[in-house]
C-alpha cells in the first residue's frame, strides 16, 4: 500500500510580511507542485529521500532524531515536524519530489508540509478535511520557523486565489482572475524564518515608523481586493509597485530582486514586486500583452518560471 499526496506552490500578490502581524493578504495557488509518497519499508529503517532536492535521511523514530546521509537539512525540518506529529514507529520510506524552486518565495515549505501531512494521514487512515489539514500545516510551519502566518498553508491546501482578512477569515475570489503574471527568480535563496525575524527586529527597533507601514500594507491589500474584483489591471499594477516599495522599507529587498523588478517595468510590466519572504527568491510582474518582452528582460541575468493560477489544492489518495 502506498499513500500519495501533492500540494501546489503559491504566489503572494499582496501582503507578505504584513500578514504575519494580522494584516490582510491576497495569494493564489500556482501549477507547480510538491509530491509525497509513503510506503512500508521492507527493512527496519525509516528513510526520507528526494531525488530532486538530492537528500536522504535515516530516521531514528524512537529518539525523534535523524541521520543526514546526503543533502542539506533545510526543508527536512518541515517534513520531520509533520512526521513526528502523526507517525508511529513503523518503518516507512517517504519520497518527496518537487517542481517548486526551493527558498524562492513560492511556498515550497508550505506545499511540502501540506503534502507530507496529507500523505501521512492517508497512510495511517486518519480522518482529515481541508480545514484541519490547513490548521495542522500552519502549526508545523510555525514550529519550524518560529513565526508564520496561516496564508501559505491555506492556499496550498485549498488552491485558488484567496483573500485572508484582518480577522483571519479566508475568502476565495469568485472572479475568474487570469491576469498574465511573469515570475522571475534568482539563484540566491531566501530563508523565510530568518526574514520574518529580521522584519520583527526592525519593527521593534523602529516601531513608530514601521508599525504604520505595516498598517498601510494592509490598507493597500484591501484596495487591491477591490481592484481584483473589478479586474482593473492598471490599479493592481500601481498597488504592486507601492507594495514593493513597502517591502523595500522592511529590508527584505536585495540587489537581484531590485534588478528583476526594474527590468520587468522597463520591459513593459505595469506592476512588479517581490513575492514571498524576499532576501533572495522571486518577483512577480503583471504584464498584459508584454509577457514575452518581460520574460526576455528578466532572463538576461536571472531565471523565469512560467506559472498559471490553479484552483487545484491538495490532493491525496491510497494506492493498493
Ligand atoms: N537545496 C536545499 N535542500 C533542502 N532544503 C533547502 C534547500 N535550499 C533551501 N532549503 C530549505 O528549504 C526551506 C524553504 O522554505 P522557505 O524559506 O519558507 O522558502 P519557500 O517556502 O519560499 O520555498 C528552508 O528551510 C531552507 O532552509
Ligand atoms: C513572509 C511571509 O508572509 C510569506 C513567506 O512565504 P515564502 O515562505 O517565502 O514562500 C511569511 C508568512 O506569511 O508566514
Ligand atoms: Mg515558505
Location of each CATH 3.30.70.890 domain in the chain: 181-305
Cα 46 to ligand 1 centroid, rounded to whole Å: 22
Location of each CATH 3.30.230.10 domain in the chain: 2-173+310-319
Residue 89 scores a pLDDT above 90: no
Q: Which residue's C-alpha comes closest to atom 22 of ligand 1?
A: 105
- Using pLDDT thresholds of 50, 70 and 90, give the confidence band for residue 91: very high
Residues present in the chain in total: 320
Residue 65 scores a pLDDT above 90: no
Q: Are 307 and 295 in contact (CB under 8 A)?
A: no
Q: Which residue's C-alpha comes closest to atom 14 of ligand 2?
A: 148
What's residue 28's pLDDT? 98
pLDDT in tens, 257-273: 999 999 999 999 999 99
Cα 139 to ligand 1 centroid, rounded to whole Å: 17
pLDDT, average across residues 107-118: 98
Within 8 A by CB and 6+ apart from 141, the residues are: 78, 109, 110, 113, 148, 152, 153
Annotated binding site for ATP: 101-111
CATH 3.40.1280.10 for the 2-173+310-319 domain, yes or no: no
Residue 148: C-alpha distances to residues 50, 169, 184, 185 (Å)? 25, 16, 24, 22
pTM of the model: 0.97
Cα 53 to ligand 1 centroid, rounded to whole Å: 10
pLDDT, average across residues 309-319: 97
What are 39's strand-pairing partners? 2, 93
- Using pLDDT thresholds of 50, 70 and 90, give the confidence band for residue 88: confident
- Using pLDDT thresholds of 50, 70 and 90, give the confidence band for residue 4: very high
pLDDT in tens, 151-188: 999 999 999 999 999 988 999 998 889 899 999 999 99
pLDDT, average across residues 314-320: 96
DSSP string, 239-296: HHHHHHHHHHHTT---HHHHHHHHHHHHTT-SEEEEESS-SSSEEEEE-TTTHHHHHH
Higher pLDDT, 219 or 45: 219
277 lines ligand 2 (CB under 6 A): yes
Which atom belonging to ligand 2 lies closest to the Cα atom of 149? 14
Is 152 noted as a catalytic residue in this protein?
yes
Computed over every residue of the chain, the mean pLDDT equals 96
Q: Given 44, 60, 88, 152, which residue is catalytic?
A: 152
What's residue 317's pLDDT? 98
Residue 72 scores a pLDDT above 90: no
Q: How many whole angstroms separate alpha carbon 305 and alpha carbon 72?
A: 24
The three cell numbers of residue 53 are 532536492
CATH 3.20.20.150 for the 181-305 domain, yes or no: no
198 lines ligand 2 (CB under 6 A): no
Give the rounded percent of residues in the chain with a pLDDT score beyond 90: 91
Which atom belonging to ligand 1 lies closest to the Cα atom of 71? 3
23 lines ligand 2 (CB under 6 A): no
276 lines ligand 2 (CB under 6 A): yes
Q: Which residue's C-alpha comes closest to atom 6 of ligand 2?
A: 276
pLDDT in tens, 186-199: 999 999 999 999 99
pLDDT, average across residues 45-66: 90
52 lines ligand 1 (CB under 6 A): no
Residue listed under C-alpha cell 490582510: 24
Higher pLDDT, 320 or 5: 5
Which one of 192, 195, 196 would you pick to mutate in the ligand 2 pocket, going by the greatest count of ligand atoms within 8 A of its CB?
192
Assess: ipTM above 0.95: yes
- Using pLDDT thresholds of 50, 70 and 90, give the confidence band for residue 318: very high
Residue 231 scores a pLDDT above 90: yes
User: Phi/psi of residue 87, each to 5°?
Assistant: -80, 155
Residue 106 scores a pLDDT above 90: yes
Q: Write out 168-237 in H/E/C secondary structure.
A: CCEEECCCCCCCCEEEEECCCCCCHHHHHHHHHHHHHHCHHHHHHHHHHHHHHHHHHHHHHHCCCHHHHH
Amino acid at each position: 500500500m502506498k499513500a500519495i499526496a501533492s500540494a501546489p506552490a503559491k504566489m503572494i500578490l499582496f501582503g507578505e510580511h504584513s500578514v504575519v502581524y494580522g494584516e490582510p493578504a491576497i495569494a493564489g495557488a500556482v501549477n507547480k507542485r510538491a509530491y509525497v509518497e509513503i510506503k512500508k519499508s521492507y527493512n527496519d529503517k525509516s528513510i526520507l529521500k528526494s531525488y530532486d532536492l538530492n537528500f536522504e535521511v535515516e530516521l531514528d523514530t524512537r529518539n525523534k532524531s535523524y541521520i543526514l546521509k546526503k543533502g542539506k537539512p533545510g526543508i527536512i525540518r518541515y517534513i520531520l515536524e509533520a512526521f513526528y506529529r502523526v507517525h508511529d514507529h513503523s518503518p516507512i520510506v517517504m519520497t518527496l519530489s518537487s517542481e517548486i524552486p526551493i527558498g524562492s518565495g513560492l511556498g515550497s515549505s508550505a506545499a511540502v508540509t501540506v503534502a507530507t501531512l496529507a500523505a501521512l494521514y492517508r497512510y495511517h487512515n486518519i480522518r482529515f478535511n481541508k480545514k484541519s489539514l490547513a490548521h495542522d500545516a500552519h502549526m508545523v510551519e510555525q514550529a519550524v520557523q518560529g513565526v508564520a502566518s496561516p496564508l501559505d498553508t491555506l492556499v496550498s491546501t485549498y488552491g485558488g486565489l484567496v483573500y485572508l482578512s484582518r480577522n483571519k477569515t479566508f475568502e476565495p475570489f469568485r472572479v475568474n482572475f487570469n491576469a498574465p503574471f511573469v515570475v522571475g527568480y534568482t539563484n540566491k535563496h531566501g530563508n523565510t524564518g530568518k526574514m520574518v525575524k529580521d522584519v520583527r527586529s526592525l519593527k521593534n527597533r523602529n516601531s513608530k515608523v514601521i508599525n504604520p507601514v505595516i498598517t498601510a500594507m494592509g490598507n493597500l491589500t484591501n484596495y487591491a481586493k477591490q481592484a481584483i474584483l473589478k479586474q482593473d489591471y492598471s490599479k493592481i499594477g500601481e498597488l504592486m509597485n507601492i507594495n514593493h516599495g513597502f517591502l523595500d522599507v522592511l529590508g527584505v529587498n536585495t540587489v537581484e530582486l531590485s534588478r528583476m523588478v526594474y527590468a520587468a517595468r522597463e520591459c513593459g510590466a505595469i506592476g512588479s514586486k517581490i513575492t514571498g519572504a524576499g532576501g533572495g527568491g522571486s518577483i512577480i510582474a503583471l504584464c498584459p500583452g508584454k509577457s514575452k518582452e518581460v520574460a526576455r528582460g528578466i532572463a538576461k541575468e536571472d531565471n523565469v518560471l512560467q506559472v498559471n493560477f490553479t484552483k487545484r489544492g491538495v490532493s491525496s489518495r491510497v494506492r493498493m
